[in-house]
Chain A
Amino acid sequence: MLAQFGYGILVVTFVVALYSVTAAVFGYFNKSASLVESARRSMLLTFPLLSVAALSLIILLVQGDFGVQFVYEVTSKSMPTYLKVTAWWGGQAGSLLFWSWLMSAFASLATLRKWDRDREFLPWVIVVANVTLAFFVALNIFFENPFARLYQTFDGNIAAYTFAPANSMPFAPADGRGLNPLLRHPGMVIHPPMLYLGFVAYVVPFAFAIAALVTGRTDDRWIRITRRWSLWAWLFLSFGLVLGGRWAYDVLGWGGYWGWDPVEIAAFMPWLTGTAFLHSVMIQEKRGMLKQWNMILIILTYALVIFGTFLTRSGVLSSVHAFAQSAIGPSFFIFIGFTFVTSVGLLIYRWADLKAEAEMKSMLSREALFLLNNLLFMSVLVVCFWGVIFPLISELATGQKVTVGPPFYERANSPLFAALMLLMGIAPLSAWGHSTVATLGRAIWKPGVFAVGITLLAYATYTHNVIALIGFFLVALVILVTLYEFWRGARARQKTQGESFFAALARLTGRNRRRYGGYFIHISMMLMAVGILGIELFQKETQGTVQAGGTMELHGYTLVYKDIAQWDDFASGVNYTRAVVQVYKGDQLLTELHPRTDYYYESQQNMTIPGVRSTIADDVYVLLVDWEPASAIGATFKVYVNPLVNWLWVGSLLFLMGVIIAAWPEEEREPSAVRAKQNAHQTSAAD
């Protein structure tokens, strides 16, 4: 009953969303405020409706109604309740519903804002949000119904149907298949929602951009309204990416965190355009330039978000050919094509209105360096996109399927990342409008000398690897330049306001959150870069089989295999095999590690949990690979030493703090057009 009810609610939501779109369009063209208001209200209605549908699904999941196909696929009796709830996004049908639910929540939040000055945007924001919503709800209704039930027809076949077929009996298996054990990790429980929050939040700036294009109000109003939206979207997306990396490191047992597989890249691509967008909107706000470019970036981000949702969702992705396998594949491509062509059409229609108000003069001005930053992000995007579609291209061109692996991305992207780091070091010192080599040189030489000093120190004490040294130099340069900027700003305040240094530093950051939050993010990214350089360039590994009491050596560490134990946990249907390994450095016992293998009876799947000793210098990462079940005397281990990898996680946490600083609400200053114009003529480096 509840399943049919939930499906019914989905259908109602679909109709309401379509009505809302229609009312908004007619309301706009007939200048009928009441029709637009009706559209707004029906938009607000979609959130409670989808909440009811979602609640129905959650109840089915928690109750364990295995007659519902989705419940059967993602839960089982032995799973704890919180995992049954989060199984909501553990499969395709459920996660599409989750997407729609978030979409309606964000759309409602956006429509609840004060619209006073921006009334004309409202109908088109509603149209974009609800067209997107209607598409995702339609996927649930027509292709991936999370409420479909299993039926057995008289010839014995069992399949899932939305409506009972003729001559059939409902079928309810005794237990479900359960969530893939690999996904039962806290990181994996919140990783997809974070990515989705990021994806969905990007729909809002896109909706305002389209509204600006349709209504012809092409000043920077849409950017100012959605500035905070794009920052939060970026925060969630970044957080989702980091969590995914951490999950891979903890669970997948290959000692790595990022494998350049198409699903990861799918989530990475909107992050790239989103990051470029964050930077380039500042040029439009300050200088009235790059208006067309910002439109292109947000349109691309939206398209990549939809594309990313599809890629991360279709699960069976090993090659581009998986697209065709999924029932929802063609619909996604049609939808992406439709929205993309429409947006680009609108952009071309308004192209002339989006002309820059100022001209870029100096190659070293802040805006030119921001433009370069954008070009580099787009280059990384092109590299990633090329890597993903290359198999398709080569097959069309030569008939031979050829693919490119991680070495491609690493080789092509490394110089681009290095250039981005160099920019991060230079750009904060440049001035809007005009900078010269001389002015920049005066600002950069002190941090530059220090960075060279640190690099020489690294050469003397740590490594002779050239790539690592270049990396360390850039990291040092960026961190020093950025700290120097904080120091310079705080000192200036200290002098003029007579505050203590730290009070001045806090006020400075508080007054200009986006700028100093951004610098904070730059520093955190450099810490992450240290971790990435460490694990990519200096990772050591060994493997071997040892007897109880035997030892293995790696990179100055001695590992002693003590013993192994095996036991069953009947309640959760898992068999644990746990080894005890002591880690020594010289004669000193550092710690005891417990690498494990969990065997899930239900899904007949192993899960390898590493034992990790984590310090700021390196991680000792031990995997239990195999053992002799009868005598329990010999066990096989794979051991990694991952230098500096913790800097990646520490940097990630600081990074998130930085985004929160930048995105934290502050009082909206009067953003009138006059002010924007004034800014356009200012060329001070201070702002």
Chain B
Amino acid sequence: MATEEPHVKVEKLVKVYGDRTVLHGVDVTIDRADTLVFIGGSGAGKSTLVRHLIALERPTSGRIVVDGVDIASLNDVELNKARRRFGMVFQKYALFDSMTNFDNVAFPLREQTKLSERDIRERAMAKLKDLGVEHAAKLTPAQISGGMAKRVGIARALVMEPELLIYDEPTSGLDPVTSRTVDDLIEEMREKFGVTSVVITHDMVSAFDIADQIAMLIRGRVVAQGTPAEVLAVDNEDVQKFIRASGVEASRLATRRPRKDSRALAAVARARAPRGG
């Protein structure tokens, strides 16, 4: 078999807002069923970069190729089709406050599938239960705490079991126990469905625990990309300073959970989803 084509390939991505250049020619490759974690200080361009992956932003120049298709070149209808395979967990939850938490999780199922209301109910409730927020199903997002809203947001992104899942700071604002539960879920989605995950996080424990690849962004440039071990060893002052400040040490790698091989999981993903469109 020929070499596996990467799931996502970002080529020379430049983003300029007015007079301000936020991304200076970023190149990143994400293999199918891998978990890529972006780390970097605030304002480094991480959120802007991941927003490009699902075409919430259009690049000033450069390409974002997902499954061999440059998504920046798609029109609205083509993009809507492509987005059915993506999911995103937003930093500020982005729950619809006019609906109950249950309706929020059921929303993508109602919009994108022809499932019966009974099946929708089962799937949405199961996902809320996975995240331990089933008791909040009938409440609205305004009636629950930030941590719970985050979990409802994660449930909504996971309920469609997408091929590419983007998490924008999934563990920020969560207690350590729930944070590890979220890490487990990210890993579970990968193991069960071969999901490719892109995670932005400031939680370095989480980063080193779940990442196949870590990419470090500083001032709109990727200064290092590699496995956690490679990033720990990289010879770059900024990278080392960031890692030292986070308190993560090489010994952390030894306690990483055992991970399934991405190539085997990629086969699961390919079997699960029709290509193209």
Bound together: no
